[in-house]
Amino acid sequence: MDYDMLYDKKEQLAKIRSSIQPEALESFEKSFDVEYAHNSTAIEGNTLTLIQTKAILEDGLSVGGKTLREIYEVANHAKAFAFVKKCVAEGRTLDEPTAKDIHALLMENILVGDVYRNVEVRISGAGFKPPAPNEMFRQIKNFFADLPYRTDLNPIELAAWTHAEFVKIHPFVDGNGRTSRMLMNYQLMSKGFLPVSIAKEKRLEYFDALEAYAVGGDLKLFADMVAGLEDTRLDEYLAIISEQVTEDGSPTHTM
């Protein structure tokens, strides 16, 4: 992936973002929030459809035939992502207390959040074994200690590494995937990029990329995946402007 091209698109969007009609921007961002909540929970086995997720998050409707846990998962995801966006807007650096707060929001009414596991865990189908509790505790402390100093990585690689390393450590009994995807987007947004959503249909490609890092330390596959998702999202935003430009060059709302 040509990272310079991504940086150029990011800068282009930063210059023209204020030209996007607020209604169009709000609609676009709401749509992403629903899609992100749906995909991130579906990857973990949630069976709510995209339309059902929208009904819960945007319309405040209940959905019959689904477990309370599934409903809480998407509702909690929206709360956690709103918290992430607030933290980024305030310029807060990602740290351990913030990550634990994100996990607590994701696990609300499901299990006690922000508490590291004291049991060994296995990941079905994975070619690696998460560390035992004592080693996990050491690794997670080192992870957060190293996080501000990973200057060897560009912003996309840093976001990918944050996710891949966190989920490899697997510090919680449950919710590690959802939390790691939140942390990835926290990093992207902190650097001026757009948050991304990994489609549930791409989960096998996604798991393979994470496995390449967990087993062999190869981040490239996952970093390229994140870069591709970011490129697509930047193009979507830039397309809003091109669709709104009138003959005299001024933006107009056409959505």
- Say whether 163 is catalytic: no
Size of the chain in residues: 255
Question: Is the distance from CB of 139 to CB of 128 less than 8 angstroms?
Answer: no
Query: Closest Cα to residue 1, out of 191, 207, 230?
Result: 230
Helix (H, G, I), strand (E, B) or coil at 230: helix
The catalytically annotated residue of 103, 163, 170, 253 is 170
What is the Cβ-side half-sphere exposure of residue 148, based on CA atoms within 13 angstroms? 7
Cα–Cα distances (Å) from 164 to 70, 144, 199, 212, in that order, read 25, 13, 17, 10
Cα–Cα distances (Å) from 21 to 24, 29, 86, 140, 239, in that order, read 5, 12, 21, 42, 13
d(CA 53, CA 136): 34
Indicate left, alpha or beta for 217 from its phi (over 0: left) and psi (-120 to 50: alpha).
left
- Enumerate the H helices of 90-196 as residue ranges: 96-106, 133-146, 155-169, 176-190
- Which residues are marked as active site? 170
